[in-house]
Amino acid sequence: MDCVFCREEGGTVLWQDDAMRVVLTDEIDYPGFCRVIWNAHVAEFSDLSAAHRERLMRVVYAVERALRTVMQPAKVNLASLGNQVPHLHWHAIPRFTNDAHFPLPIWAPRQRAVSEALLASRRAQATLLGDAVRREIVQAFA
């Protein structure tokens, strides 16, 4: 089987341990878009033990907290789809009322153009996510 998350990191690694990693994706319209990727190839959340499910959700929670602190979005979308990549991962997407698709999901038809200046500003904010994610993960397990 050829799985992109088994052969590639899936983005810039912000944090990782033996079970999972948090990556910052390279989504041009969505600076700050993170993924929490389970390292072992499993397709469904229910494939994990109860302890692993709890650990994963603590990390998803920590990423959401980091996004809210650093990016200050109007909303954070959390999604675990895996229809195209059946490898367990969660999307954590900062959403803004003036982003390209709001209020629709980011995979819906584009609603508006977003200026490069605004995207550049959000990309600059996203550079602070690594420290914030690591700090929130430490707090989530304290």
Q: Which amino acid is at 76?
A: V
Instruction: Domain ranges for the chain, please list them.
Output: 4-136
User: What gap in Å lies between CA 21 and CA 13, rounded to an integer?
Assistant: 7
pLDDT of residue 58: 98
Q: Which CATH number fits domain 4-136: 2.30.130.10, 3.30.1700.10, 3.30.428.10, 3.30.465.10?
A: 3.30.428.10
Please give the chain's pLDDT, 142 residues, in tens.
689 999 999 999 999 999 999 999 999 999 999 999 999 999 999 999 999 999 999 999 999 999 999 999 999 999 998 788 889 999 999 999 999 999 999 999 999 999 999 999 999 999 999 999 999 999 999 9
pLDDT of residue 135: 98
**Which of 76, 68, 73 has its CA nearest to residue 118?**
73
